[in-house]
Amino acid sequence: MTNPFLEGDAAAEPVRVVESIPVQGAPRLSPEAIAKEGIPTPPHLIVGPALGRGGMGHVHPAVDRNLLREVALKRLLTEYASDAFYRDAFIAEAQMTGQLEHPNIVPVHELAIAPNGAPYFTMKLVQGEAFDRWLWRRKPGTIERIEGGIEILLKVCDAVAYAHHRGVVHRDLKPANIMVGDFGQVYLMDWGLAKLIKSAPASGARALMNAPGAVGTPEYMAPEQARGNPADVDERCDVFGLGALLFEVLAGHCPYGRVSDPNEIIERAKTGRVTSIDEACERYGVSRRIRAVAERATHPDPAQRFQTVGELRDAMRAFLHGGLHLPRKSFAAGELIVKEGDKGDCAYMIVAGRCRAFRVVDGKEETLNVMEPGDAFGEMALILFEPRSASVVAVDDVTVLVLDKAHFDEGLGVSGWTGALVRALAQRFADLERMVRSSGLRRG
């Protein structure tokens, strides 16, 4: 079988094509453009125009004519190739990434030096979009953004935890460095600013890794990282970076607020002026439980953060799995969710929006409580099989998880002593409430 895209190149004879899944490939660069820019062109690669351009290197799509797959070729610009500082740092990035063999770290295929002396390496070409684009298409406060964003970050946590196990700190965790594939893949990219903390790199790489000054992206930097002393950088800087990503998933902006001036951002980072997560999420109705996770992960004091990425990952996973598998129901603002006196056969937990609980006393509504994401209601009627003791109305557009009797019995094991104890406590509370109401007292 032949592959039309791979035919007609006289530069070198590729391995004979035996069987091929169609390879779309990118437009080819002309020989003149390749020669002018000094782009490495190994015989087995067909190189296309640059996908991304950095200060010292470019990334090109390419097709491997032997293995019939699309790859990404990253090259150091020719003008930097003769400088040992930049060349060693570039090679260290390729070697470091190549040694981090993990499902959520983009794999490196080969590393070589072109005839013009410029190093290059090839890696998997990820088909998808950067996480910043993924976030831009989803509004803060929505279930899709919160659940989907945390699922993506859990995979990033796995990659970072593995890197830490191998003695590598990323130092540049940000949405643009996370690729979300079209079929559920998540890759943590760009290890060019990573630091080895358990071994000694080559001279050029060592100079870059230990250079004084803020290294990374200010919006996501830990305060100790922004202050610029490399000796203060450890795994907890990446914990902060992951927390900053979670903060942005929940609030729509980074922990240092909506600031456009880079100097102001770096100053806020240096002094640890982290915006209150509660204030940042106030208009979105985000669960207090996950807000607390983001708050701890972005604490200015490293000793007050999660001490490992594993701890942060477990806290996010516990939130994500904390009943989010239950059926959901949505209510518009002003819509009645439960009515006082009705028979109750399910309870609810708020995941988005706010609700108001009230009773009608002498023909007037008496507000009992305003509930936020993470709060539950309707549990007494479910446990005791009694009529609803109050009404609940949606204050905003509300999404709730619905807990019916079957889910309740399964989760709590109510057929045994646990269920008997819970019902006994609920019955005592209900009896006490009836006594208070019959005495003419009202709950505040």
For residue 304, give the CATH number of its domain: 1.10.510.10
pLDDT-based confidence at 11, cuts 50/70/90? very low
What is the tens place of the pLDDT at every residue in 121-160? 999 988 889 999 999 999 998 888 998 999 999 999 999 9
Whether 305 and 339 share a structural domain: no
Q: What is the mean pLDDT of residues 406-428?
A: 53
Whether 375 and 411 share a structural domain: yes
124, 158, 182: which is the final residue of a domain? 124
- Point out the catalytic residue in the list 158, 172, 190, 238: 172
Asked if pLDDT for residue 401 goes beyond 70, the answer is yes
What is the tens place of the pLDDT at every residue in 34-76? 777 777 778 888 888 888 766 677 888 888 888 888 899 999 8
d(CA 211, CA 232): 12
Could you tell me the strand order of the sheet in which 376-377 lies? Answer: 328-331, 398-404, 346-352, 376-377
320, 351, 386: which is the final residue of a domain? 320
Q: What is the mean pLDDT of residues 369-396?
A: 83
pLDDT-based confidence at 5, cuts 50/70/90? very low
d(CA 358, CA 201): 65
Residue-number span of the structural domain to which 275 is assigned = 128-320
Whether 179 and 290 share a structural domain: yes
Per-residue confidence (pLDDT) for residue 267, from 0 to 100: 93
Among candidates 347, 418, 350, 354, which has minimal Cα distance to 385? 347
Examine the residue annotation and report whether 172 is marked as an active-site residue of this protein.
yes
Per-residue confidence (pLDDT) for residue 389, from 0 to 100: 81
Q: Quote the number of domains for the chain.
A: 3
d(CA 383, CA 423): 6
Per-residue confidence (pLDDT) for residue 192, from 0 to 100: 84
Whether 302 and 389 share a structural domain: no
Assign residue 44 the CATH number of its domain.
Answer: 3.30.200.20
Per-residue confidence (pLDDT) for residue 433, from 0 to 100: 58
Measured at the CA of 211, the angle between CA 176 and CA 237, to 5 degrees, comes to 50
Cβ-Cβ contacts under 8 Å for 111 (sequence gap 6 or more): 91, 94, 95, 98, 119, 120, 121
Q: Are 108 and 121 a contacting pair, CB within 8 Å?
A: yes
Q: What is the mean pLDDT of residues 325-334?
A: 81
Assign residue 336 the CATH number of its domain.
Answer: 2.60.120.10
Per-residue confidence (pLDDT) for residue 240, from 0 to 100: 97
Tokens linked to 378: 């309707």
What is the tens place of the pLDDT at every residue in 185-227? 999 998 888 888 876 555 545 555 566 556 789 999 999 999 9
What is the tens place of the pLDDT at every residue in 74-95? 998 888 888 888 888 888 888 8
Whether 262 and 142 share a structural domain: yes
Q: Is residue 443 a part of any domain in this protein?
A: no
Whether 352 and 431 share a structural domain: yes
pLDDT-based confidence at 289, cuts 50/70/90? confident
Asked if pLDDT for residue 256 goes beyond 70, the answer is yes
Asked if pLDDT for residue 428 goes beyond 70, the answer is no
pLDDT-based confidence at 335, cuts 50/70/90? very high
Q: Which residue has the higher pLDDT, 443 or 324?
A: 324
Residues in the chain: 444
Whether 425 and 285 share a structural domain: no
Q: Which residue has the higher pLDDT, 198 or 183?
A: 183
Asked if pLDDT for residue 270 goes beyond 90, the answer is yes
Q: Is residue 43 a part of any domain in this protein?
A: yes
Environment class of 184 (CB within 10 Å of its CB; exposed 0-12, middle 13-18, buried 19+): exposed
Q: Is residue 291 a part of any domain in this protein?
A: yes
Whether 362 and 313 share a structural domain: no
Q: Are 259 and 314 a contacting pair, CB within 8 Å?
A: no
Among candidates 254, 348, 250, which has minimal Cα distance to 293? 250
**Least confidently predicted of 113-117, 296-300, 311-315, 424-428:** 424-428
Share above pLDDT 90 across residues of the chain, in percent, rounded to a whole number: 36
Q: Is residue 444 a part of any domain in this protein?
A: no
What is the tens place of the pLDDT at every residue in 345-360? 788 888 888 999 998 8
Q: Is residue 427 a part of any domain in this protein?
A: yes
Whether 283 and 301 share a structural domain: yes
What is the overall mean pLDDT for the chain? 82
Tokens linked to 383: 């446990």
Q: Is residue 163 a part of any domain in this protein?
A: yes
Per-residue confidence (pLDDT) for residue 419, from 0 to 100: 52
Whether 292 and 425 share a structural domain: no
Per-residue confidence (pLDDT) for residue 111, from 0 to 100: 92
Share above pLDDT 70 across residues of the chain, in percent, rounded to a whole number: 77
Q: Is residue 371 a part of any domain in this protein?
A: yes
Asked if pLDDT for residue 175 goes beyond 70, the answer is yes
Asked if pLDDT for residue 431 goes beyond 80, the answer is no
Per-residue confidence (pLDDT) for residue 439, from 0 to 100: 62
Whole-model pTM: value is 0.74
Q: Are 124 and 106 a contacting pair, CB within 8 Å?
A: yes
Whether 381 and 296 share a structural domain: no
Per-residue confidence (pLDDT) for residue 435, from 0 to 100: 63
Whether 201 and 229 share a structural domain: yes
264, 293, 320: which is the final residue of a domain? 320
Q: Which residue has the higher pLDDT, 184 or 386?
A: 184
Among candidates 263, 256, 313, which has minimal Cα distance to 280? 256
d(CA 86, CA 56): 8
